[in-house]
Each structure stands twice: as C-alpha cells, then as structure tokens.
Structure 1
C-alpha cells in the first residue's frame, strides 16, 4: 500500500544528511533514558545480525512466550539502558531501516518526567522532522508512547513489510520496558513504519502500531506454541496468539518446525500491512494465517554468512508443514504448485510462511 506524502515535511537536504541527523539525535535521546533514575546500564549497540530477543532483552520477569507481560517492583535504576539498533551486513536498503528504527527509538524512549505526546513530538522534531509531521507521528504512536514515567525501546529486529523504489514499509519489532512509580512493566510492540524516498533520502510518513486485541481462552495448539522454548516470539506476536486470532494451521506449523529448528519469529498477525505492499491484495498476516521468521537456529536470514542450505531447508520444511506460500531470500523450485515458493527484495531479510486456511 503506497501512502500519499504527508502534508508537511522538511525540505530535502544533501543526500545522506537526514540519516546522519536521525542517527545522532536518536543516540542522544536513547542514552539519556536512564540518566534521571541512576547510572545507565552499559550495553553495546545492537546490530541487525545480533539484535536482542525477548528472552535476553529484559531483566528476569519480562514478557516471554509463556505468558502475559509481567510487572515487577524495581527501583528506577534497573530500567535497562538503551541499545541503539544498527543494520548488519546484507541489507538492501539499510538507510530505510535506520530511519524507521531511529524514529521508533525516539518515540518510545524517554527519561523520568519526559513522557506524553507533546514530549514525544519534540523528540521526533529533534531528528529533523517538521513540527507538523512530528505531532502527527506522536499521535499515531499508539502503545509505543504509553502513560509511564520513563521507557526504553530495545529493537529486536527491523524487517521489511515491503520495499519499492520510492516507498517502503519497515516493521520495527521491539521490547519496551516502562517505569511507573517504582514498578517496571515489561512490554513491547511492533510498528509498521511507512517511508518515502526523495533526493534527501528516506523519510518516515506514518506509523501503524500493532493492535493485537484482548486475550481469550486458548486452544491446545496456542498454549503449546507459547510454552515452546524453541519458538522465540516478540511481545506483539505473543499478544496475537493470546488473542485467539491466529489460525491453527500457522500454530501447528510453528510447532512442527520447532521439532527441527529454533525459530525467531518477527511478525505473526498485527503490526503488518493489511495488503501485500504496493498492491490491493489482502495479506495473510492480518487474517492470522501467516508468520515471518527472521532468524533460524540463531542465524539471521539477512546475514550473508548464514548458510543458504539452512535457509532453503527451512523453507522446504515450511512447505512440508502445510504452507502454500513460502517466501525468502532464495528462489526455490519444485514446489507442489508453481507459486508455492517465491523470492523478492521484501523477503531478502526473512522467511514468510503463509496458509490458505
């Protein structure tokens, strides 16, 4: 889905300048996140090939694949330090991902006393975004800017929801510990960040955060997926499954694949474009009939050092698990149908596993 340009955006500068501003300003915002509550925790910058997963991004008691986000009583200085995400090798458009991630990091990271939409808009404006667009993006941030005293976004993965020459969707998958009083809440979300490209580089135009819906009573397949340690799920995907809106075919395939592989899921249902990007064809994701995997056995799909045979064997295993539509960075032949396997730039950084029912 190609979005119209925003009504107000900064005038284009020299090529690459916006990316520099985004990176510098976001670093300043991120490193201030814990300064008011005590000494920030030391942390190395994360990259596209070593992003944290839900099991390591937060202290004990954090959201996991086996239950709801938890709340623990903690003093302010245990709020994790910000870890700015950086793309690793093999990215097709790293500047697009950086622009999306820096925007999300700025919106979702603030020190004590700097919460609220107005403060969020001010942080976005510091990235070189016009005041009007910054206010729009702050209003569109959803649960990314909750009512909390302080918060830190730690990006798990940044994945394409779609990439065309001048427009893109980047799905920013993140943990977000928040502080309210003396309690730390371990949550997170996935944001579909839309961008356009002009002579000044990539610029964010709108945000579409995940909205998984309320939790419901679960069937056995959903409970098994949430309890399976070989399936790594980010917060929004956990909430998707707990909502009861993920189809059994997708859940059973995850369990079958976990018998052979450790799979790090990036997106299941919410936080994904409603239509296949750039078309009017509905995506299987919002229908609860697809999931994306960004890492297999601990190896990122986007990393050129990851074995192509590992990726292709996983793709064939996904097809054997019932997927009618398996996409990834490698174009395979020999499927049950002519279109069972596909590859394009959007799926250069993950494996898509879709189901027709």
Structure 2
C-alpha cells in the first residue's frame, strides 16, 4: 500500500510538469510587441514680428539657436556644432560647451520664445535667445528645458552671419534645500516666468539678494518674464571692455510684461511702461527701457538695444553681498 501511494504521488507530479511548462513554451512563440515612442513635435523656424527694429539680425540669431538645439538621437556634439558653419576655433569652443545641452542617446527639438537684444554696432549684433528645448530619451520620456543662448552675429557689407555661440545657457543645477528667503520667494512666484538658465543662477547663489527682492515686489503689480540674470549674457557691455552688471549677478532683463512682449508695448501707460516706471520710482541704480524717466546721465536711460526689454539693476556691484 505504501509503495502504491508513493508511485501515485510520483505519477501525479510527472503529469503536472508538462501542464505548467506548456504555457511557457507557447508564450515563447509569441513575438514581443513594443510601442515606438511618439515622435517629437516640429516647430516652425523663428520669424520676427513687424515691430522689431532689427528683424533680419533677430531672424538669423533666433534660427541659429533653434537649429543648434534641434538634433536627432545619436548626433555628436561635433556634428551639431559643425552645422552652423562657424570658423574652426568657434566650432571647437561650441563643441566643448554643448555638453550642457546635448544629452547622450536623446533627441531634441527647439522652439524660440524670444531673441532679446544684447547689443549692436554697424558690424555686430548680439541676441540672448530664449529657447524651449524639448528632449526625449530612448524610452520615450520627455523633459523640457528653457535656455538662454548667447548668439553673436557679424556683417561686412552683406547679410548678417553667425560669428559665435558664446553660451548655451549654463549647466543644470539641483535646487538647494536651504535657499535664502528672497530666492525661494521669487522662484516659487507663479507671476514670474524664469528661464531654467536664470533659475540655475539663483540655485548657485549667484544673484544679488536685493535684486531678487525688487523683482518679487514688482510681481505684486505685474506678471513678467525674465530672459537672463547672469548666465547667457555677454560678460562685458557690448563691444566695450566694461564688465556688465549681469556678469556679477546684479541685473535682470525682462522681455515680456503681463503676457505681451515689451517691444509690442511702446506706448505710455502700457503694462510694460507702468512696470518700468515703478522700477524708476523705487530707487534702482540703473534702468534701461524704451523710456527715459529722469533725463540724461541719471539712473534711467533708453537706446536702440533697450527697446525690447527692461534692464533692472538694484544695487551697485558688490554692495549687498
């Protein structure tokens, strides 16, 4: 009886093995279906509006930044840099700096938000191009980054051409947990639109706290968008040897107020004019805008470069840090 019982258990076990293994064998014959990532959108090439004072230069600068940050998966930094047709040294420098904006095994498309002026002469032009970069990794995951790209143009009796991409907007920085109150207040204010480039400057502690406070107070009156604080701005005042206040984190450039570009609000009484006027009355050290509120040689000034943004400096460089 015991032997029969043992044989019976063994027989049952040998019968069950093929039943449990058979589904695995059948499953192996069914091909695995994987869904390809949804393609990235495409954006039209940047075209300036009719209100721009330098439309041809802005078109060249905007499209250069857009083309630079639009690349296929697997593209190398050297190949991306070479597409702009720069000189050998400018291409080499750009290849090195592109590490911040070209992610391994990712595809990228770019949309120009606005190319704000940095400076101009008869033969040179600079634009700080605010670009939204949409990246997609091999698994289809997407990430958006807004960069301020420093584009330099030149010309000599002909059309504008790209001379140099001086910056792609800096390296990504994690937000510290112990940010000062002035920094946290501005970063978390949904009335203020900051590029990621500007946010990283604040994360690094590279911005004048008095400037951050002035911007926060201004947001109580108007919503606005900041193109640049420090990174992405030329080191010197255009075509001079004078260091820009932006380089030390003491100035901010605002390119839109209450959802409209500053360049589209040239009239007195517009939201951009009201915001500029409030800065002028608050005791800022320097204010560049489409309007001069206090006459030549004082804190407020206007020129061709500042027709498309508000330049705000609250303190003298080195004063409040």
TM-score range relative to shorter protein: 0.7 to 0.9
Match of 2:285 in 1: 324
Match of 1:39 in 2: none
- Based on CA coordinates, which of the two structures has the bigger radius of gyration? 2
Contact kept in structure 1, 2:117 and 2:305, CA below 8 Å? yes
Among candidates 124, 130, 155, match of residue 84 of structure 2: 124
Structure 1 pair 250–212 and aligned structure 2 pair: CA distance change class (3 A): farther
Among candidates 293, 299, 304, match of residue 345 of structure 1: 304
2-structure distance, mates of 1:187, 1:179: 11
- Which residues of 2 match residues 1-357 of structure 1 at below 5 A? 76-77=37-38, 79-113=40-74, 115-125=75-85, 137-182=94-139, 183-209=141-167, 210-211=169-170, 214-215=173-174, 216=176, 217-303=178-264, 307-310=267-270, 311-333=272-294, 338-355=297-314, 356=316, 357=319
TM-score by length of 2: 0.78
2-structure distance, mates of 1:164, 1:141: 28
CA RMSD of aligned residues (A): 2.4
Greater shift in the superposed pair: 170-179 or 81-90: 81-90
Name the SS for the 2:144 alignment partner.
strand
Structure 1 pair 212–289 and aligned structure 2 pair: CA distance change class (3 A): farther
Contact kept in structure 2, 1:291 and 1:354, CA below 8 Å? yes
User: Which has the larger helix fraction?
Assistant: 2
Structure 1 pair 211–135 and aligned structure 2 pair: CA distance change class (3 A): closer
- Following superposition, the deviation at residue 180 of structure 1 comes to 1.5
- Following superposition, the deviation at residue 118 of structure 1 comes to 3.5
Q: Which runs of 5+ in 2 are unaligned?
A: 1-34
Match of 1:46 in 2: none
- Following superposition, the deviation at residue 200 of structure 1 comes to 2.4
Name the SS for the 1:86 alignment partner.
coil
Kindly indicate whether structure 1 or structure 2 has the higher relative contact order, using CA contacts under 8 Å at least 6 residues apart. 1
Matched positions, count: 277
Contact kept in structure 1, 2:65 and 2:131, CA below 8 Å? no
TM-score by length of 1: 0.71
Name the SS for the 2:248 alignment partner.
coil
Contact kept in structure 2, 1:107 and 1:141, CA below 8 Å? no
Contact kept in structure 2, 1:121 and 1:131, CA below 8 Å? no
Q: Which runs of 5+ in 1 are unaligned?
A: 1-73
2-structure distance, mates of 1:75, 1:238: 33
